[in-house]
Amino acid sequence: MKRESPSRSGPSARSTPEVAAARLRLLAEASSALASGLDAEEVLRRLARLVVPHLADACVVDVVEGEGLRRLTVTDRDAERALRVLPGGLLPGPDYSSAALAKVLRGAGPVVITDFSMPAPGDSLHAAQWALYRVLGAESALIVPMHVRRQVLGALTFVRRAPAAPFDEQEQALAADLGHRAGLALDNARLYALQQHTAEQLQLSLLPDLTGLAHLQLATRYVAARERAEVGGDWYDAFPLPDGSAILAIGDVVGHDLAAAVRMGQLRNILRALAFDSGDDPAGVMTRLDKVMQGLTSIELVTAVVARIETPTDSPWQFHWTNAGHPPPLLAQPDGRTILLEEGHAPILGVDPALSRETATIVLPSGSTLLFYTDGLIERPGEDIGRGLTRLRQHAAALAREPLAVFRDALLTRLSDDQHDDIAVLALRVP
């Protein structure tokens, strides 16, 4: 019969000042590891690596996933033993199991196991645990819940082999504390991931449908930041005007959160209405946008490029644009020459709606590629932006003769290897 005993608090005969200090250091290091990021799985793996071998010979992390249980990681001081237990598998749920792990997940609290009897037939979770203990050579095990707000999100299992002594009362208290902190970290990471997923889906839903511009060869992409997983206010747009020309635009609303994504959608809709109805050149549209933004919205600062492209069938295409503090569009020609379109530049939106803005004009060479982008494509922390622009020009020149979709994808691949911000790009290929 398997013997289980709930954890108890109280003094330990084996407690010494040195041991107590070591346990405090372990708790501090574990807390630091759990707070080191918002990738729940990675921080829990770090926790398992920290407690082995200081608290146990092996540590197993199981997380509740739907109606089942997923074995996230198995860390052992003997790497060969850990390799025999493959993490990632989905285990049966705890509802009908008599295993100690199931009892902990149902709210029984920390449990110490010193006797590992054969499981009853048909108890698949108990059988999986029994097989785990055999592989790890368990002499004693301590299971603590990862819980938050009375909800158990998973469990930490600490395993010791002979001749190690069973877990004493202070070690049980330390393990329970680790489980609680791990639960908080897991809950925070899941809440953050949910918020970011919601913001990203909102932002993607706000990006435009370009099917009304079939006569233009366009390629667009929005890429969320990798490092911080933050969604921001990067946006692009393209839409036809009543006179047969088209508006192309790109910009960045200040901020990296759900509110920035909402403001981005609001600003894009204002731009569409103003450009479609006014008949102004890009500088006039940008000035109107600045006035409306500051007069009727809470949007504070925005960088943007607003452009109009004229596409006559019997003469070269004309490109007219104005820039409000945004990185300059890039023109890549088939012969490999590249031009940064730096004319028409003025301060960002949100500073002074009375600022003078100008519209610049250029003829687009046949076969050339016009690229709009946000700063996440070129900026790197601690690096001068000039280096990023040079890097962009070099890669665009090498890809200028590739199909437009290849041009876009290869450029993103080459320039986003160290991505710290979200990126929006819009590319146009001249016939």
- Give me the pLDDT at residue 124, please: 87
Q: Which pair of tokens denotes residue 58?
A: 């092996």
| Rounded (10°) CA dihedral 190, 103, 179, 133 | -110
Q: Dihedral of CA 345/346/350/354: which sign? A: negative
**SS3 sequence, 71-99?**
EEEEEECCHHHHHCCCCCCEECCCCCCCC
Contact residues for 396 (Cβ-Cβ < 8 A; gap 6+):
330, 332, 338, 369, 371, 407, 411
Question: How far apart are the C-alpha atoms of 222 and 25, rounded to whole Å?
Answer: 44
Determine contact, residues 40/186, Cβ cutoff 8 Å: yes
pLDDT mean across residues, the chain = 87
Determine contact, residues 284/356, Cβ cutoff 8 Å: no
Statement: residue 145 has pLDDT above 90: yes
Question: How far apart are the C-alpha atoms of 268 and 426, rounded to whole Å?
Answer: 15
CA distances from 344 to 229, 278, 337, 353 (A): 33, 20, 21, 16
When pLDDT is averaged across residues 116-128 and rounded to a whole number, the result is 85
* pLDDT band with cut points at 50, 70 and 90 for residue 122: confident
- Give me the pLDDT at residue 330, please: 98
- Could you report the per-residue pLDDT of 54-110, keeping only the tens digit for each? 889 999 999 998 888 888 889 998 888 877 776 666 677 777 788 899 999 998 889
- Could you report the per-residue pLDDT of 146-173, keeping only the tens digit for each? 998 888 999 999 999 988 888 988 889 9
Statement: residue 13 has pLDDT above 60: no
Location of structure tokens 């700063």: 375
Nearest CA among 299, 279, 281 for reference residue 290: 299
- Give me the pLDDT at residue 231, please: 58
Q: What percent of the chain has pLDDT over 70?
A: 91
Determine contact, residues 117/124, Cβ cutoff 8 Å: no
Q: What is the DSSP letter of 311?
A: -
Domains of the chain, start order:
4-196 (3.30.450.40), 207-429 (3.60.40.10)
